[in-house]
A and B are shown apart, each in its own frame.
Chain A
């Protein structure tokens, strides 16, 4: 049977700060290489909530401040509700960089007024102002798969995630949100409690910005697998790919940061 997935990309023009596109390219190629048909749908001001209803996997990248404002003026009402419905239906989603802030309860910038989010994640983000340093650098974290309802993990899944973070905002999770990962080196959500990102059902928020998936193929494959399982209502095992180069890039960062794993 030929699988098909519809991947929704939130505001590709507005929410694409620094290589965020790498995640879409990763998902697209890893599906193509396995013969899974992909339809990529840009969810922007030209689309209505009905387009969101058919999405099997949702992705959102980071926006600069003005762009984030434009997004929030459009992503409301029926459209915001459609995102909620999709996440509640356990469809997988990935939000990187600034996108989780949009999906949280609110974001309070250093200057200007509080921006209300969609409230998908029980978390709030505050920017403590320019006198506090931005949290920048290469980072490694270990995934809490239990929060994604995976009880037994494969050796590949047990690998950490690597990436680069660059954020001014400090995020705190509420009681109804679980962290995505635990920081091994780096800052994570707020530089204090060692949590990184957020999980709700099959939606992942992650401060690692830009191309998270190319160097973390286990996360890409988790999203694809779960999207197929939800869509086709059966257990799915993806055919393996030659990921030697992916893991070389991954391991180079792990090694450089001196993380003993």
Chain B
């Protein structure tokens, strides 16, 4: 009971602080709760009969959690999730504080937690989710996360130590994820996509070598990066049988098709009807900064959060398919973005940007991004760099003709900045 009381007090306090505009309480209530009781998360989940579902992976966590929540809501289930900016233990504890509901046997309460790659092992020490979704592992913020294989190893060690009742839903198209899963005791099912057209792994492929024996993998088809229908010619490890039903989702890009497949498989496992799932999928709207659209001065603006090479490549590929030619890259190097911006040189600007696109760059590292674009010559022969986004944004927008769309590719903190400019308020 003391946890529920603690949560109530912190919730009320957080409410007043928000009303008084003194903060919006995404992580501090959780920080306090964990200080008072380090076992707060696991205890309150038990006391309030909450069924946790955890989503982990480099890219797609927020969107997958959102799709799953929309499906569950469409079927009348009670469900809540954490904000993407609150995906460490503090944030998860805060989410549990701010949600006042309690689950019952008749009316279960689901909590969908997206969790930071480094925080997953810590969370699994505390709770045993009903389902754990492992989406993918790509290069991301080497200065913070280390090598892809280091994370894979941490996940594997942590899962070998975790409750065997956790059911894992893994991306079968990602050799690194399968490499982890095949060593575990837990029950595992896989999702994936049906064969694509590309035949070879791309430059950004991080895991085109067998996670078990180190031999070079062969692909009969590739979706993007190292995801696809793969096989190890040496030890025989290969893409397992995957759930790959074609689903209809109002979001662009094959990366979102993966997010949809992961959410859809989870919903099926939870016993939801296909019809309800289809309804849910049709109601999905973009999570903030993920293909989110705005209209300003008769011009369309669409934000594609792009925080690592694979993410930016997939954003560019989708924008190219949409016919986009006005592009604004905003590259920041603050802690949530990663301080190292070297990764922009792994982005395939040369092939993924329409020739003669009008390109602008801004943010803390506007010149670095500008250089990357400059060296994509002759595909692009000009780039406009603006160090200060706030002062340049209106000028950039003026360069875009009416009815046209300005596609914005920001890193995480840059996405928050540009949203603030567009909505006039701060989100996190």
Answer yes or no: do A and B interact: yes
Residues of chain A at the chain B interface (Cβ within 8 Å): 13, 16-22, 25-26, 29, 33, 64-67, 69-70, 136-138, 164, 166, 209-211, 214-215, 245-246, 248-249, 252
Smallest distance from the beta carbon of B61 to chain A beta carbons, Å? 22
B149 at the interface (CB under 8 A from A): yes
Decide if B354 is an interface residue (CB 8 Å cutoff).
no
Query: A19–B374 Cα gap in the complex (Å)?
Result: 16
Of all chain B residues, which has the CB nearest A21?
A: B345
CB distance from A32 to the nearest CB of B (A): 8
From B214, B343, B368, B372, contact of A66 by CB (8 A): B214
* A33 CA / B378 CA spacing, docked (Å): 10
Binding site for A on B (CB under 8 A): 139, 142-143, 147-149, 203, 208-209, 214, 339-346, 365, 367-368, 370-372, 374-375, 377, 383, 385, 387
Give bound CA distance, A136 to B338, whole Å. 11
Contact across chains for A29 and B345 when beta carbons are under 8 A apart: no
Interface centre among A209, A215, A248, by most chain B C-beta atoms within 10 angstroms, is A248
Tell me whether B368 and A67 are in contact (CB under 8 A): no
6 CB-based A-B contacts, threshold 8 Å: A22-B345, A22-B372, A64-B147, A209-B342, A210-B343, A245-B371
Q: Which residues of B contact A25 (CB under 8 A)?
A: 345, 375
B217 to nearest A CB, angstroms?
Answer: 12
State whether A164 touches B340 (Cβ < 8 A): yes
Contact B208 A18 (CB under 8 A): no
A166 and B143 contact, CB distance less than 8 A: yes
CA distance A26 to B342 in the complex (A): 13
Contacts of A29 in B (CB 8 A): 375, 377
Q: Which of A136, A245, A246 is the most central at the interface, judged by chain B CB atoms within 10 Å of its CB?
A: A245
Residue of B nearest to A70 (CB): B214
Q: Within 8 Å CB of B203, what residues of A? A: 16, 21
A211 CA to B370 CA, complexed, in Å = 14
A19 near B343 with CB under 8 A, answer: yes
Structural contact, A136 and B342, CB atoms closer than 8 A: no
Shortest C-beta distance, A206 to chain B (Å), equals 13
In the bound complex, CA of A81 to CA of B91 (Å): 55
How many Å from the CB of A55 to the closest CB on chain B?
22
Question: Which residues from chain A contact B385 at a C-beta distance below 8 Å?
Answer: 245, 248
List 20 extra interface pairs beyond A22-B375, A245-B370, A249-B367, CB under 8 A.
Answer: A13-B208, A16-B203, A17-B142, A18-B342, A18-B343, A19-B343, A19-B345, A21-B346, A22-B372, A33-B377, A64-B147, A69-B214, A164-B341, A164-B342, A166-B142, A210-B340, A214-B371, A245-B374, A245-B383, A252-B368
Most chain A beta-carbon contacts within 10 A, residue among B208, B346, B371, B374: B371
A165 vs B325: C-alpha distance when bound (angstroms): 35
Residues of A within 8 A of B342 (CB): 18-19, 22, 164, 209-211
Beyond A64-B149, A66-B209, whether A18 also contacts B371 by CB under 8 A is no
Question: Do B346 and A65 touch (CB < 8 A)?
Answer: no
Q: Please, which residues of chain A bring their CB within 8 A of the CB of B345?
A: 19-22, 25, 210-211, 214
Q: CA A105 – CA B345 in complex, angstroms?
A: 30
